[in-house]
């Protein structure tokens, strides 16, 4: 399937909300301008840090259409359609196709944990009914199910399943996903910020990074130094991410991220309930 190249530093973009928990579209456009000015190579919206699980279909479609219209093709955009139900995922994905988005990500079904064969059938059925480049999204800590290598290989052979965002945090498993790219047109994007440099060295196309909401310029520089073979400089930049990265873990995502961005003067509002904003102690640390 013909598609735009999706690589480099791709922020897992937070979703700005106003005081009534509605989408804040003016703030969203300012956030997009800020990220593009930092030199990011793509945008990953309506994911975990984007609070897609707390948004209905209309919210996700409005978010995606706004981003696509504002970005105007300057970088590729991927939006999330993954839902627990196969039928509902197909419905949302096809609405997102109409926005002109470049990729659609598909987080595995959660709560009612599917077997591996259930998972394969879920993704195959979506691919059969959605005419767009599809990106699998492996995040077993949140979904309760991992996309196994055997299932991933069967899915990689499907034309419009173009790759996987792996947030499993298992470097050896991610290398197995990367190996599939030698057989198929199947790209791997790292989703664990701590592994950003190691996975690039192993052959990942890039990193969908939550920390890139805040540290985009640093991470874009890391990627440039990696591409130039200046691995010592890239390693220093990778280690510079750790202080923020560890503080972000002290609250449920994206509470600490949103607080940090608000402190930076990039207004994104609070998380949607039930997630509360960062408390005073964490705010002081941030």
Tell me, what DSSP letter sits at residue 85?
S
pLDDT at 112: 87
Strand partners, 120: none
- Tokens 């991933």 belong to 152
Strand partners, 23: 17
d(CA 71, CA 65): 10
- Find, among 216, 210, 221, 207, the residue nearest to 254 by Cα: 210
Angstrom CA distances, 262 to 39, 59, 66, 167, stand at 20, 22, 21, 25
Map residue 143 onto helix, strand or coil. Answer: helix
d(CA 22, CA 201): 41
d(CA 277, CA 269): 9
Angstrom CA distances, 188 to 48, 54, 181, 223, 284, stand at 18, 26, 8, 15, 36
Name the catalytic one among 7, 103, 123, 137: 137
pLDDT at 98: 98
pLDDT per position as a tens digit, 181-198:
889 999 999 999 999 999
Give all strands (DSSP E) within 144-186, no chain letters.
161-166
Residue 12 region, left (φ>0) first, then alpha (ψ -120 to 50), else beta? beta
pLDDT per position as a tens digit, 66-92:
999 999 999 999 999 999 999 999 999
Tell me, what DSSP letter sits at residue 72?
T
pTM for the predicted model, two decimal places = 0.96
Contact 101, 77 (CB under 8 A): yes
pLDDT at 76: 98
Does the active-site annotation cover 137? yes
Contact 12, 47 (CB under 8 A): yes
Map residue 87 onto helix, strand or coil. Answer: helix
Does the active-site annotation cover 103? no
From the DSSP assignment, how many helices (H) and strands (E) are in the chain? 13, 8
Contact 46, 63 (CB under 8 A): yes
Contact 25, 39 (CB under 8 A): no
Map residue 239 onto helix, strand or coil. Answer: helix
Q: With b meaning 16 or more CB within 10 Å and e meaning fewer, what string describes 37-48?
A: ebbbbbbbbbbb
Angstrom CA distances, 40 to 18, 36, 187, stand at 25, 6, 18
Per residue of the chain (286 residues), give pLDDT as tens: 789 999 999 999 999 999 999 999 999 999 999 999 999 999 999 999 999 999 999 999 999 999 999 999 999 999 999 999 999 999 999 999 999 999 999 999 998 899 999 999 999 999 999 999 999 999 999 999 999 999 999 999 999 999 999 999 999 999 999 999 889 999 999 999 999 999 999 999 999 999 999 999 999 999 999 999 999 999 999 999 999 999 999 999 999 999 999 999 999 999 999 999 999 999 999 9
Q: Can you read off the two tokens belonging to residue 204?
A: 């990942």
Name the catalytic one among 7, 165, 205, 270: 165
d(CA 222, CA 206): 11
């Amino acid at each position: 399937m013909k598609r735009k190249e999706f690589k480099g530093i791709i922020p897992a973009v937070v979703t700005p909300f106003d005081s009534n928990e509605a989408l804040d579209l003016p703030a969203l456009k300012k956030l997009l301008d800020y990220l593009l000015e930092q030199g990011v190579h793509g945008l990953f919206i309506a994911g975990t840090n984007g609070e897609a699980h707390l948004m209905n279909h209309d919210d996700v479609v409005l978010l995606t259409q706004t981003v696509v219209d504002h970005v105007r093709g300057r970088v590729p955009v991927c939006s999330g359609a993954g839902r627990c139900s196969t039928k509902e995922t197909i419905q949302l994905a096809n609405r997102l196709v109409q926005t002109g988005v470049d990729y659609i990500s598909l987080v595995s079904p959660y709560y009612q944990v599917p077997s591996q064969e259930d998972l394969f059938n879920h993704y195959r059925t979506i691919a059969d009914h959605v005419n767009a480049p599809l990106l699998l999204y492996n995040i077993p800590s949140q979904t309760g199910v991992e996309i196994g290598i055997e299932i991933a290989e069967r899915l990689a052979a499907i034309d419009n399943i173009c790759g996987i965002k792996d947030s499993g945090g298992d470097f050896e498993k991610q290398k197995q996903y990367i190996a599939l790219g030698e057989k198929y047109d199947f790209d791997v994007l790292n989703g664990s910020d701590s592994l950003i440099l190691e996975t690039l060295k192993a052959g990942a196309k890039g990193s969908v990074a939550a920390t890139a909401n805040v540290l985009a310029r640093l991470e874009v520089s890391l990627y440039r130094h990696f591409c130039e073979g200046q691995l010592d400089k890239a390693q220093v930049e990778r280690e510079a991410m750790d202080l923020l990265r560890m503080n972000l873990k002290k609250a449920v995502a994206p509470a600490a991220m949103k607080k940090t961005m608000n402190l930076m003067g990039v207004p994104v509002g609070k998380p949607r309930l039930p997630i509360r904003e960062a408390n005073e102690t964490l705010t002081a640390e941030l």
